[in-house]
Structure 1
Amino acid sequence: MSDYAFRPITRADLAMFKDWLAQPHIDGWWGDGGTEARLVEEDMDKDVVDMRIAQHNGTDFAYIQDYNAHAFGAPQYADQPKSARAIDTFLGDPAFLGQGHGAGYIAARVAELRRHFPCVLTDPDPANLRAIAAYTRAGFVPLDIRPCEDGDLVQVMRHA
């Protein structure tokens, strides 16, 4: 049994979410906390993105979301199956860094997703070596580097 659980994010979590985004280890990989929290809050009442707080033995420590890879017209996923899911995530609580939790919770969540979706994708920044390493340890394999909707390059990865 996994030590990881995933509960839906709530408005009560937004202050914690913003605090996590202000942590130095996340700097530059996600937008500022206020903007990202506003976007998450806007999406809470829609049925497009499944947004979760990851917990380890009951302690909140990370954020993970998944959605249809084609829902937002992401060109980096254009050649992937129509039913593919894409994930985005960050480990927020710095006390959980360097202990294997990144790969652990990603693998646990992807195992849940793979029961319903045969293809799970992600697209970290190619310079975010920590994220790429965690995704690799969680069973993702790199496909190639492609431009995303804003023109930035991303490392497209698919769960094996």
Structure 2
Amino acid sequence: MEVTLRPLTRADLALLGTWLREPLVAEWWHDDPNPAALERQYGPSIDGRDPTVLRMGEVDGVAAGFVQWYRWADEPDWAAELAPFLRIPDDAWSLDYLVGEPTLRRRGIGTALVRAALERIGPAPVVVPVQAGNAGSIALLRRAGFAVVAHADLEPDNPAHGRDHVVLARA
């Protein structure tokens, strides 16, 4: 299976909002799916005013998921929170991903999304903190070539989760 990545556009925001309402996605992303909130969050990157790279993942021309990647250097507050637990290389990146279409989950699409993003990031280090209870995401990252490098006490994306995080890095 081949996943292709294309830039996220404003026309994709409604679909992304639908995906963010999916119970499994909402559990871990906990983002506001309303149109105005999506515009505030993703509009600056779509316009090139924020360096975060936003991509829709497609399988056979059908939108299946979303992946974003960003330099830790561009997220200094987030990097500072992680710093007591792990030295982040100056050129390191991180990423977030989701498979939005429920019927396409558990088919390797998430792993393919991450691998496609890694190809575009290139050889730079990639460091991804994951809430410790998200066993599926941890397993996916391991399948994509990541290894656990630290455990950290970090603010969770979803306030219902604990602060325990597993930090993985591309091996």
Pair in the same fold by TM > 0.5: yes
Q: d(CA) in 1 for partners of 2:38 and 2:129?
A: 17
CA RMSD of aligned residues (A): 2.1
Q: Give 3-state SS (helix, strand or coil) of 1:123's partner.
A: strand
Q: CA deviation at 1:83?
A: 0.7
* CA deviation profile, 1:106-135 (whole Å, cap 9, x unmatched): 112212212xx4211212211111111111
Cα deviation for residue 153 of structure 1 reads 3.7
- Secondary structure of 2:137's aligned partner: helix
Which structure 2 residues correspond to residues 1-160 of structure 1 after superposition, within 5 A?
3-30=2-29, 31-34=31-34, 35-36=37-38, 38-45=40-47, 46-73=49-76, 74=78, 75-76=81-82, 79-114=87-122, 117-148=123-154, 152-160=163-171
Question: Judging changes above 3 Å, is the alpha-carbon distance between structure 1 residues 43 and 108 closer, same or farther for their aligned structure 2 residues?
Answer: closer
- The 1:146/1:61 distance shift into structure 2, 3 A limit, reads same
Pairwise CA distance, 1:101:
1.4
8 A Cα contact 1:17 1:37, kept in partner: no
Which of the two has greater helix per residue? 2
SS at structure 1 position matched to 2:28: coil
Q: Which runs of 5+ in 2 are unaligned?
A: 157-161
Structure 1 gaps, min length 5: none
Task: Report the more deviating stretch, 52-61 or 117-126.
Answer: 117-126
What is the alpha-carbon distance in structure 2 between the residues aligned to residue 137 and residue 21 of structure 1?
Answer: 24
Shift of 1:148: 3.5
Identity percentage over the alignment?
26
Q: How many pairs does the alignment contain? A: 157
My pick for the range that moved more, 8-17 or 42-51, is 42-51
What residue in structure 1 maps to residue 159 of structure 2?
none
2:131 counterpart SS class = coil
Once the 2 structures are TM-superposed, how far is the Cα of residue 43 of structure 1 from its aligned partner? 3.2
- Whole-Å separation in 2 of the counterparts to 1:61 and 1:24: 16
Shift of 1:66: 0.6
Q: Return the TM-score normalized by structure 2.
A: 0.82
